[in-house]
Structure formats: structure tokens, C-alpha cells
């Protein structure tokens, strides 16, 4: 239908406009775009060069050429962790130490991508695992993270302006300020005043799913409109308990994620603030890890000395 087509076109044009100027290595890059009005367009050559099309696009299509991100989305990563996590639960095993650098790197890159968008006065509005791609590994072995699908993103022209819209994120990832009440006191999903920090809330839910994959509270299928506010009301307390159970050896990380789920958006930290807090969490974690390794090495040396004194030679 024409109205639907115009709406979809406006989404695409908006996404192109945002992608052209964000300049972040953690947001998928825009390469080119064109409207294919006939079957002799140069679009086929562009697509063939990028190996994204097997045939000439149909007449009248808008073609957007994006950076190719080879890998999988964070939802797949969380699903894989969920399988191993369920087995680990039965053995009373918490988050493995070798997973911690990956988890914190993913969080850091997501926040950097959002921080760039926010500094350019853009709200993503649809942060969720499926819109976070994990690509080729970095030098430290952690995956490269890129935010995708900016079709629901909106620019805020004025720094202090409020955005009123019902074209917003998936129910599970909606911040409290995105849900209003009508005159009857019922939930109203057609309006709501919100700013950049709705992305912070959605990222907080996403990070919690990443660390605690089997949390029933944070499964999209368990959410209905009637239960949403009840879920949001108890979300922070439940998440806090789960995080402290799963990552007790990473001081400050549970508090950081918990702060992202602050119901009052004025008290919720910005991405820039969260990046500073995360850097401090990483610093303390590395210091504690190095101290533990040093203590273990000292213990091994003492055991070797004892062994040498007993049998006459060391190991």
C-alpha cells in the first residue's frame, strides 16, 4: 500500500542519513544507496562487487549497500551461553573467568557506539541482542561489535527537546518513560516522553541477558502489555540479585548494570558516564586477577622449595 511504502521509505532515508555521519567504528558503515528504477541500473554492478546480490534487483527498489559484518548477532551468542549456562547452573558454576574479558569488551563497544550516536543527537530506539553484531576478532581476541538497524532511530534537533512517538523498541526493552497512562489509568503505548537514556535502559536489559541468559524475567515471550509495568517495577531488584549471583568476582559490574535500570531517567547514567565506570571496573578486575596470579605463583614457588628440600631436587 502506498502509505506503508512511504513509511518504509522514510525509515530507510532516515537510516541512511544517520549512517552517513555517525563516524563510529561500532556502528555499521554506510557505503552507497540508489533507487533502481529500471533493469539497467548501475546497482547490479555495485551489488555484484559487494557479493550481496545474485540477480538484478526488481524495478523500483531502493538499494542500500552496507558494510559486510561477518559473524553473528548477540542473540546467537547469548543463546550459546544459555546452553552452557544451564549446564553450569546444575554444577553450581558461575561465569567463567575466560569469558569476562569478552563480556566487558562487548559492553564497552556497545556503549561507545551509543555514545557516538547520542553525541550526534541520535537515539537508536531499538537496542536489543539481534541489533548488535559480533564480527571479526580484535587484536586481543574479543569480537568487534557493531550496532545495526537504525531504521527506528530518530535525531533530536534540539538538545532539550522531547520525542513523542509510538514507533519504538520491542516491548521487552522499553524503558519506563516510554510507557504512559491514559485518562483511565490504563497502559498507553501510543505516547511517552523520552530522550537518549531509553537506549541506556535497553542496553542494561541486553547486558543482563548476556550475563544471565536463563533469566525468565527477561524473555521476550514472557512480556505482555498488561504485565509490563509489573515487570519493570521488580526488574531492578531481580536483576541485581541475578547479577550478584553470577558475577561475584567482578566488583562493581553488577552495580553498573543495575544503574542502567534506574526507573527515573534523570538518575540513569549517560553512556559517557558508564564508559568511565566500566573502565574502573576493568582496572580493578585486572588488578585483582594479577594479584591472584601472583599469589598462586608464590604458592607454587614455596611448594617447589619444600619439595626440593625433601627429595633433593626441584621441579
In a domain, 121, yes or no: yes
Report residue 92's pLDDT band, with 50, 70 and 90 as the boundaries.
Answer: very low
Question: Is residue 34 one of the residues assigned to a domain?
Answer: no
Angle between helices 197-211 and 100-119 (to 10 degrees): 170
In a domain, 48, yes or no: no
DSSP string, the chain: -HHHHHHHHHHHHHHHHHHHH---TTBPPEEEEEEE-STT-THHHHHHHHT--SSPPPTTEEEEEE----SEEHHHHHHHHHHHHHHHHHTT--S-GGGHHHHHHHHHHHHHHHHHHHHTTEE----SGGGEEEEEE-TTSPEEEEE---TT-EE-SSTT--EE-S----GGG--GGG-EE-TTS-EE-S--EE-THHHHHHHHHHHHHHHSTT-GGG-GGG--HHHHHHHHHHHHHHHHHHHHHH-TTSTTHHHHHHHHT-SSTTTSPPHHHHHHHHHHHHHHHHHHHHHHHHHHHHHHHHHHHHHHHHHSS--
In this predicted structure, which of 155-164, 174-183, 295-304 has the lowest mean pLDDT?
155-164
What is the pTM for the complete model shown? Answer: 0.73
Structural domains in the chain (count): 1
- pLDDT at position 314, please? 55
Q: Which domain holds residue 109?
A: 72-289
| pLDDT score for 280 | 95
Give the pLDDT confidence of 253-267 residue by residue, as tens digits. 888 998 998 888 899
Give the pLDDT of residue 146. Answer: 94
Question: Does residue 22 lie within any of the structural domains?
Answer: no
Give 302's pLDDT tier (boundaries 50, 70, 90).
confident
User: Measured between alpha carbons, how far is 28 from 131 in angstroms, rounded to an integer?
Assistant: 10
Q: 38 in a domain, yes or no?
A: no
203 against 125, higher pLDDT? 203
Backbone angles phi, psi at 269, to 5 degrees: -70, 160
**26: in domain:** no
Does some domain include residue 86? Answer: yes
Per-residue confidence band for 147, with pLDDT thresholds at 50, 70 and 90: very high
Which pLDDT band, with edges at 50, 70 and 90, does 101 fall under?
A: confident
Say what percent of the chain tops pLDDT 70: 54
Q: Is 139 exposed, middle or buried (0-12, 13-18, 19+ CB in 10 A)?
A: exposed
Q: What is the pLDDT of residue 116?
A: 92
CATH number, residue 155:
1.10.510.10
What number is the average pLDDT over the span 14-34? 76
With respect to residue 27, please indicate whether it lies within any of the assigned structural domains: no
Amino acid at each position: 500500500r502506498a502509505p506503508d511504502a512511504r513509511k518504509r521509505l522514510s525509515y530507510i532515508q532516515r537510516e541512511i542519513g544517520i549512517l552517513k555521519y555517525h563516524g563510529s567504528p561500532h556502528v555499521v558503515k554506510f557505503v552507497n544507496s540508489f533507487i533502481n528504477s529500471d533493469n539497467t541500473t548501475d546497482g547490479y554492478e555495485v551489488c555484484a562487487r559487494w557479493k550481496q546480490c545474485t540477480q538484478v534487483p526488481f524495478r523500483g527498489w531502493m538499494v542500500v549497500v552496507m558494510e559486510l559484518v561477518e559473524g553473528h548477532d548477540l542473540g546467537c551468542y547469548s543463546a550459546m551461553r544459555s546452553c552452557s549456562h544451564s549446564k553450569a547452573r546444575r554444577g553450581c558454576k558461575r561465569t567463567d573467568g575466560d569469558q569476562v574479558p569478552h563480556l566487558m569488551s562487548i559492553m564497552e563497544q556497545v556503549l561507545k557506539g551509543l555514545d557516538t550516536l547520542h553525541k550526534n543527537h541520535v537515539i537508536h530506539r531499538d537496542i536489543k541482542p539481534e541489533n548488535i553484531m559480533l564480527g571479526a576478532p580484535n587484536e586481543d581476541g574479543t569480537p568487534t561489535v557493531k550496532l545495526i538497524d537504525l531504521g527506528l532511530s530518530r535525531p533530536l534537533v534540539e538538545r532539550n527537546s522531547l520525542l513523542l512517538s509510538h514507533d519504538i523498541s520491542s516491548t521487552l526493552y522499553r524503558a519506563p518513560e516510554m510507557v504512559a497512562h491514559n485518562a483511565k489509568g490504563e497502559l498507553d503505548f501510543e505516547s511517552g516522553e523520552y530522550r537518549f537514556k531509553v537506549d541506556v535502559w535497553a542496553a542494561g536489559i541486553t547486558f543482563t541477558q548476556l550475563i544471565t541468559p536463563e533469566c525468565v524475567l527477561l524473555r521476550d515471550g514472557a512480556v505482555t502489555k498488561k504485565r509490563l509495568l509489573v515487570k519493570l517495577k521488580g526488574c531492578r531488584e531481580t536483576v541485581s540479585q541475578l547479577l550478584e549471583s553470577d558475577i561475584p568476582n567482578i566488583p562493581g559490574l553488577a552495580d553498573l548494570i543495575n544503574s542502567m535500570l534506574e526507573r527515573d531517567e534523570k538518575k540513569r547514567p549517560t553512556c559517557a558516564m558508564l564508559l568511565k565506570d566500566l573502565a574502573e571496573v576493568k582496572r580493578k578486575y585486572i588488578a585483582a586477577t594479577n594479584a591472584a596470579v601472583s599469589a598462586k605463583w608464590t604458592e607454587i614457588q614455596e611448594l617447589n622449595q619444600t619439595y626440593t628440600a625433601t627429595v633433593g631436587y626441584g621441579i
